[in-house]
Amino acid sequence: MTHHTRPQDDAAAERIRWTRVEPKEPIREPDVWPTVRFPEPAHPFDAPVRVEADIRGLECIQGEVPAHLDGTFYKVVCDRQFPKFVDEGTLGNFNDDGMAISFRFHKGRVDYKSRFIHTPRFDAERAAGRALFGLYRNRLSDMPEVEGMPRGLANTNVFFHGGKLYAAKEDSPPIILDPDTLETVGHDDFEGSLTSQTSTAHPKMDPRTGEMVFFGYSAKGETTRDVAYYEADASGQIIHETWFKAPYSSMLHDFCVTQNYVIFPVIPIRSELEWLQKGEPIFQWDPDESVYLGVIPRKGKGEQIRWFEGPNRFASHMMGAYDDGRHIYIDTPVGDSSYFPWFPIIDGRAHDPDTSKGFLSRWTIDLADENRTFTERRISNNPAEFPRMDDRYETLEYHWGVVGLTELPGHQAPGGGFRWVSAVDLTTGKQQIYYPGDHATVGEPIFVQGDESAPEGHGYVFVIVSRRDMMHSELVILDAQHVDREPVCTLKVPLRIPRGLHGNWVTAEELAARTD
């Protein structure tokens, strides 16, 4: 094992801990507002949008909206309030402001809304009329007036639990939003129970118990190896907390929860305090480091963690996972090297788009394996990311998933990005493909159940399509059992929806039980 023992962890944690939600001194309105000018994007579709919209009754340009759909599709996208004062190089949208968007479905009418998320950081910058926070996850590059503030942007996921709508980014506590208005309610530390400085954007809901299982990594401050694992009951109260140290500090972006275990995939997108001190990217790919899957029994103690080691691989998002008592099955797109071109390779090698392709694969852990390894089996040869499942089967054995594809062998699509949606039958390996046409990219496809009693994978796939030639977006609704057929309907959003990450469907019944 090439563990990086880091005796300075706790000292570093103390130094970079956030201490206040407000700026040190109230930020006064400037005498003259700074000029707003953004750098020219490579494609005009990717310029900041900055529109907070309300559209009642979106135009349906194809098909018919299923009138029985009652609920809201929420997503966070990455927009920009102000230009940066630091050079971010080729960094994607990881350091952009979160904007929540919602599509409210009721009796066949669909209303669209978008609102910037008022993180403490967003409000401080709004008061100043300019950016005050510097490089991605590097507080050493911030303006002095915001020293010690949480740097979260709430730009990664939005999810509903315990009657509350949360927007999250993994470097800070979540933000609570009003599910109807999308106004920001506040910065949430679970009434003081969140002892970690961070909280994942990828919690898992246990459909049997209603529990939310989540964690914070770099939990004592950026680059620390500390991880805090929590479970909250169905009402949102934290009922379990335990801590452990990862073998090395890394971007612990997603994890797996089964009925009996939680699994923490430590992937070698490592982080080091000295990189932050030198102004280098916080994350760098280590091509010589192993993958470690840390397994803890559900509601177990950190000291029970067992690490299963595998060769150097890249993975980011987990489609789903389940266990049969002895084995744990994990499905995730796996690549030979990092998917993120903006995080350097530590030996100075250039990013390789070929080896970075991810292919949906199954990792199997045999808990009885004395060698503490795991196996990998490829499920699909189509380069994929953004895996999702029918969330009613989270933690349970499941057979249906959906992904975005960047390539489809044998097919040409001009331009880059995610171009196809693929629904995968994990039992047969059969795939169905949706192609929105040339000049269009797709966001994360999500599953929406038509009704609660529908069998697994029966319902809809919602996907936001960017019509990059026409400078507007669409919400396309596919039949989850037939994504290759003509869409069920297409809702036109007469605006560009900025590129975003994750979203979720919340039923009207769940929304009726809001408690924020």
CB of 98 to ligand V55, least distance (A): 8
Length of the chain: 516
Contacts of 300 (CB under 8 A, 6+ apart): 242
- Looking at the Cβ atoms of 282 and 461, the one nearer to ligand V55 is 282
- Looking at the Cβ atoms of 93 and 290, the one nearer to ligand V55 is 93
According to CB under 6 A, which one of 156, 224, 290, 466 is a site residue for ligand V55?
A: 156
> What's the rounded Cα separation, in Å, for the pair 394 and 256?
9
CB of 103 to ligand V55, least distance (A): 21
Contact in structure between 499 and 78 (CB atoms under 8 Å): yes
- Looking at the Cβ atoms of 488 and 497, the one nearer to ligand V55 is 497
Contact in structure between 320 and 404 (CB atoms under 8 Å): no
CB of 204 to ligand V55, least distance (A): 16
CB of 251 to ligand V55, least distance (A): 6
Site for ligand V55 in 83-142 (CB under 6 A): 94
CB of 177 to ligand V55, least distance (A): 17
Contact in structure between 18 and 148 (CB atoms under 8 Å): yes
CB of 380 to ligand V55, least distance (A): 20
If you write DSSP's letter for every residue of 12-78 in order, what string do you get?
HHHHH----SS-SSPPPPPSSPPPP-PPPPSSGGGS------EESS-EEEEE---TT--EEEEEEEE
CB of 289 to ligand V55, least distance (A): 18
Three-state SS sequence of 305-367: CEEEEECCCEECCCCEEEECCCEEEEEEEEECCCCCCCCCECCCCCCCCCCCCCEEEEEEEEC
Residue 322 CA, chain-centre distance (Å), reads: 20
According to CB under 6 A, which one of 131, 154, 256, 501 is a site residue for ligand V55?
A: 501
Site for ligand V55 in 358-397 (CB under 6 A): none
- Looking at the Cβ atoms of 253 and 270, the one nearer to ligand V55 is 253
Cα Rg, the chain, nearest whole Å: 22
x-or-dash pattern for ligand V55, window 315-334, by CB under 6 A?
Answer: -x------------------
Site for ligand V55 in 235-264 (CB under 6 A): 253
- Looking at the Cβ atoms of 155 and 332, the one nearer to ligand V55 is 155
Selection from 216, 174, 212, 175 nearest residue 195 by Cα? 216
Dihedral through CA 133, CA 139, CA 142, CA 144, nearest 10? 130
CB of 95 to ligand V55, least distance (A): 8
Site for ligand V55 in 167-206 (CB under 6 A): 169-170
- Looking at the Cβ atoms of 131 and 488, the one nearer to ligand V55 is 131
- Looking at the Cβ atoms of 12 and 501, the one nearer to ligand V55 is 501
CB of 500 to ligand V55, least distance (A): 8
According to CB under 6 A, which one of 138, 155, 196, 250 is a site residue for ligand V55?
A: 155
- Looking at the Cβ atoms of 91 and 262, the one nearer to ligand V55 is 91
Selection from 320, 328, 317, 318 nearest residue 372 by Cα? 328
> What's the rounded Cα separation, in Å, for the pair 319 and 334?
11
> What's the rounded Cα separation, in Å, for the pair 68 and 450?
8
- Looking at the Cβ atoms of 140 and 511, the one nearer to ligand V55 is 140
> What's the rounded Cα separation, in Å, for the pair 339 and 353?
8
Selection from 287, 281, 248 nearest residue 265 by Cα? 248
Contacts of 343 (CB under 8 A, 6+ apart): 269, 281, 283, 284, 285
Site for ligand V55 in 290-319 (CB under 6 A): 316
Sheet containing strand 256-257, edge to edge, reads 256-257, 261-266, 291-297, 306-310
CB of 77 to ligand V55, least distance (A): 10
Q: Please identify the residue of the shown chain whose CB is closest to the bound ligand V55.
A: 94
CB of 385 to ligand V55, least distance (A): 9
Helices (H) and strands (E) in the chain, counts: 4, 33
496 binds ligand V55 (CB under 6 A): no
Contact in structure between 217 and 227 (CB atoms under 8 Å): yes
Category of 124 on φ-ψ map: left (φ > 0), alpha (ψ -120 to 50) or beta: alpha
Q: Count the site residues for ligand V55 by CB under 6 A.
A: 8
Q: Which residues bind ligand V55 (CB under 6 A)?
A: 94, 155-156, 169-170, 253, 316, 501
